[in-house]
Structure 1
């Protein structure tokens, strides 16, 4: 029998959504083993006073198997 756990984390990037997801998963993998996948739960952008995107933020739900 396998048991999986889901944790939620927020990560950001000035480059884009994909970079935010990749860097968030890489950082998470430093302390969490057996990551099986992730859902992008929410996307947010931070803008400057002219409406230009400064930062992409994503909320991830990361699933891993508990051993």
Structure 2
């Protein structure tokens, strides 16, 4: 099975995309309902999220900079 996850942000925390991926996998497997994602974001507690997904298979496609930023 092949899945794609596009993440865009103006900054990233260490292992952030891997944590998001692991959490979404748990939701997809039915371990948690989709509504749990809103609760998780509101709680702001990384320990309540899913496992950190392995780095294999994840890759950086592009980095873009805002030209107006100085």
The answer to whether TM tops 0.5 is no
Greater share of residues in strand: 1
Q: TM-score, normalised by structure 2?
A: 0.38
Q: TM-score, normalised by structure 1?
A: 0.39
Greater share of residues in helix: 2
